[in-house]
Amino acid sequence: MRIAEMTFVEYEARLRETDPVVVIPAGALEQHGPHLPLATDAIIPTRLAEMAAPRINGLIAPAFTYGVRSQPKSGGGEHFCGTTSLWGSTYALMLSDVVQAFGRHGVKKLVILDGHSENQHFLVEGIERALIELRRDGITDMRVIRLGYWTTISQSVQDVLFPTGPVNWDLEHAAVMETSVMMHLEPGLVRLDKIPDEPMAVFPPYETFPLDPRPIPSCGALSSARAATAEKGRVVVDSLLDDFATIIPSAFA
């Protein structure tokens, strides 16, 4: 189901014969605290897509592993070593080129599964630009959906993740949700002895330019990740896979 591991002959036949859903995981290379790998935002949607594939007739495209520039209030910002990003304009053009190629090769159902919140508006620009170009060439039968993988996490799952009460989702960077999901999906990549437990970041209501890094926790996580567990990660992943199995086929019905 990984397109990168198929031959072009196999891929072409699969497109023609089964009209699959192609999933592009959209991640980032961004600091995720001292305990999670830089590619966390690519690893999670890639693994989710691979696990969902049998239930959605899915093929998985190589992930976009460089994301749109990290914002201080959602990913810590660009000043961390290893946070390696694209300007939004570059990103939208790259995505547009790839979406167009999939459309020209006969993909009719495309899911962009986003793992990095800063990508979202530039994903939309790339998708819309690609569809305009395809339409100009008479290709009108491709549909694309953009889905942040976390979007459907229900209140009952949030109650498991955060039993002490609601959280600020913007500050969940490298915190309980991502850490729990990685502990479940990729336990070998989580540095358990480095999980940070610093208080939640407090930002002013404005943004300063040049960047004032002082409100940003130097550990990189914007909230404590101490309450993360692999079991919480399992609950999140199982519910997301059920959601995808319903949402994605119905989006293309």
- Least Å distance, CB 240 to Zn ion, is 15
Q: Closest CB to Zn ion among 41 and 114?
A: 41
Q: Closest CB to Zn ion among 67 and 88?
A: 67
Set 114, 116, 172, 184: catalytic member: 116
30 is catalytic: yes
32 is catalytic: yes
Alpha-carbon dihedral sign for residues 247, 248, 252, 253: negative
Compute how many residues bind Zn ion; rule: CB under 5 A.
1
- Least Å distance, CB 175 to Zn ion, is 9
173 is catalytic: yes
66/77 Cα distance (integer angstroms): 14
Binding mask 8-47 for Zn ion (x = CB under 5 A): ---------------------------------x------
Instruction: Look up residue 170 and give its DSSP letter.
Output: G
Q: What is the DSSP string of 210-237?
A: S---TTS-TTS-SS--TT--HHHHHHHH
Q: Which position's Cβ is nearest Zn ion?
A: 41
Q: Closest CB to Zn ion among 100 and 223?
A: 223
Place of tokens 């899911």: 111
Q: Does 243 bind Zn ion (CB under 5 A)?
A: no
Q: Closest CB to Zn ion among 41 and 243?
A: 41
Set 172, 178, 184, 243: catalytic member: 178
* Residue 224 C-alpha from the chain's centroid: 21
Q: Closest CB to Zn ion among 172 and 243?
A: 172
172 is catalytic: no
- Least Å distance, CB 107 to Zn ion, is 27
121 is catalytic: no
- Least Å distance, CB 187 to Zn ion, is 17
Q: What is the DSSP string of 107-166?
A: --EEEEEE--GGGHHHHHHHHHHHHHHHHHTT----EEEEEETTTT--HHHHHHH-TT--
User: How are strands ordered across the β-sheet holding 58-60?
Assistant: 58-60, 21-26, 109-114, 143-148
110/112 Cα distance (integer angstroms): 7
Place of tokens 């008479």: 138
Summarize as ranges the residues that interact with Zn ion (CB under 5 A): 41
Catalytic residues: 30, 32, 41, 116, 118, 173, 178
